[in-house]
Amino acid sequence: MARLHSRRKGKSQSTRPPSKRPPFRIPYGPEEVEELVVKLAKEGLTPSQIGQRLKDQYAIPLVKPITGKGVVEILKERGLAPSIPEDLQNLLNKAKRLREHLSRHKKDRKNVRALELVEAKIHRLAKYYKRKGVIPKDWEYKTVVAQLK
């Protein structure tokens, strides 16, 4: 698979466990795993950080085979889900950091291009999430690149 905004090839990713059944060696039941997810969310962790913490500290490789639901689904049921999906929020934070950098370094043309690419990703992802009903239809990201040129 090629990279999105370059001609390079991407890194190969690790594969998930092939079985859809819960691993037999996990000492936690579905209710206990859900409570762990809620507890970690109340500590302020994002869904991906919750998954990492469950894998590293509690030896739970995946939540879905055990509970039948993903981390975000569990958080939605309990009213703890983030209003904006995590991947979109990360892109928004990246664009904000690039804008702050460009306000200090006005002649940095490489990062103007990087901001264009990040904003293109934001628009594509927002269009997808609007279509799926994850974010409101009237949600809008205002482009900054046009003001910089």
The domain limits of the chain are 30-78, 86-148
Output the pLDDT for position 61: 87
Q: Considering the chain, what percentage of its residues have pLDDT values greater than 70?
A: 92
Output the pLDDT for position 9: 77
Output the pLDDT for position 63: 92
Residues 5, 52, 80, 34, Cα dihedral to 10°: 140
The residues, any chain, with a CB within 8 Å of residue 46's CB and separated by 6 or more, are: 82, 86
What whole-number distance in Å separates Cα of residue 144 and Cα of residue 122?
12
What whole-number distance in Å separates Cα of residue 80 and Cα of residue 41?
7
Output the pLDDT for position 7: 78
Domain 86-148 matching CATH 1.10.287.10: the answer reads yes
Output the pLDDT for position 8: 79
What whole-number distance in Å separates Cα of residue 96 and Cα of residue 88?
12
Q: pTM of the entire structure?
A: 0.82
Output the pLDDT for position 146: 61
Give the position of tokens 């209003």: 83
Output the pLDDT for position 147: 65
pLDDT bin (cut points 50, 70, 90) of residue 144 is confident
pLDDT bin (cut points 50, 70, 90) of residue 123 is very high
